[in-house]
């Protein structure tokens, strides 16, 4: 299984990390490392996440990480996952 990220997600994550790094660089690094771990483990844990509150589609689920929600799409046809965005709760 492959994991892809949208440009929107990449842009939003960059903005969040820049904001965090101004406050506490080491905490930013921990946040990003843990987020990467969650994303890498999506293929084995996708079914544990709840259906997204933003979309009316069973193939879109939400990961909750700290004060953020990360919707992702399960693309069974292409055997992949697409990280759609990172949204502050």
Q: Mean pLDDT for each 10-residue chunk of the chain (89 residues)?
A: 96 94 88 95 94 96 94 96 95
pLDDT at position 84, please? 97
Cβ-contact 74, 58 below 8 angstroms: no
pLDDT at position 76, please? 93
Q: State the pTM of this model.
A: 0.91
Q: What is the CATH number of domain 2-88?
A: 3.30.2310.20
For the chain, the straight-line distance linking the first and the last C-alpha, in angstroms and rounded, comes to 28
Q: Give dist(CA 31, CA 53) in Å, integer.
A: 23
pLDDT at position 4, please? 97
pLDDT at position 3, please? 97
């Amino acid at each position: 299984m492959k994991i892809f990220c949208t440009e929107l997600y990449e842009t939003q994550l960059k903005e969040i990390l820049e904001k965090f790094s101004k406050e506490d660089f080491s905490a930013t690094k921990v946040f990003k490392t843990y987020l990467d771990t969650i994303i890498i483990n999506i293929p084995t844990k996708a079914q544990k996440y709840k259906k997204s509150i933003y979309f009316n589609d069973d193939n879109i689920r939400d990961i909750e990480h700290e004060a953020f929600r990360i919707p992702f799409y399960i693309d069974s046809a292409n055997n992949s996952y697409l990280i759609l965005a990172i949204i502050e709760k």
